[in-house]
Amino acid sequence: MNKHIAQLVAIGFSSLALISCGNFATKDDASSGGAAVEDRNTGVAYADGIDSGANYVGSPLDDPSSPLSNREIYFDLNQSDIRPEYREIIEAHARYLADNMGVQVTLAGHCDERGTREYNLALGERRAKAVSRLMSMLGASGGQLEAMSYGEEQPAALGHSESAWQQNRRVEIQYLQ
């Protein structure tokens, strides 16, 4: 009988040790090239293998290692098609919105200075609605999303060069507080 109790105690301590070891991550773990891990709260996969929340205290929207901190989607000239490199960012925001139904965003479409005012307002709206449609398809509620256009009226970069124009062709994901 004492042998069985001793075995149960040993198993209990071993289990407790394994559980406690699994809850801590160090900075060295981040550079070890571990497999991607999905955050249970946001559904966001972290490629470095650790939950960024382990070292970051605050809103997941402001965690610099999270795709949720990226809130700008850029577009090609005269286009409203979402480029493949921005899909992961949009998916992360859609999952966050689906998990937080009380949160709302404004999707603000912008254009560069080329084109007429009317054309740019319409293009900015098409860009914002393209992001809104994709977020809706990925789980965000339509009531959480407001698409609007500023056209060329709020440039991110001043200047008359391709570099400035590229920065101005965007949709900004703005969380409402």
Cβ atoms of 92 and 44 closer than 8 Å: yes
Pairwise CA distance, residues 135 & 117, whole Å = 27
Whether this prediction's pTM lies above 0.85 is answered by no
At 2 the pLDDT is 59
Instruction: Count CB neighbours of 22 within 10 A.
Output: 8
30 burial (CB, 10 Å; 0-12 / 13-18 / 19+) is middle
Rounded CA-CA distance 40/19 in Å is 17
Extents of the domains making up the chain: 70-177
101-158 tens-digit pLDDT = 999 999 999 999 999 999 999 999 999 999 999 999 999 999 999 999 999 999 999 9
The confidence score (pLDDT) of residue 42 equals 42
Top CATH class of 70-177 equals: alpha beta
Task: Give the lowest-confidence range in 43-47, 70-74, 76-80, 115-119.
Answer: 43-47
Quickly state the pLDDT bin for 57 (edges 50, 70, 90): confident
Sheet holding 72-74, edge to edge: 72-74, 170-175, 105-110, 145-151
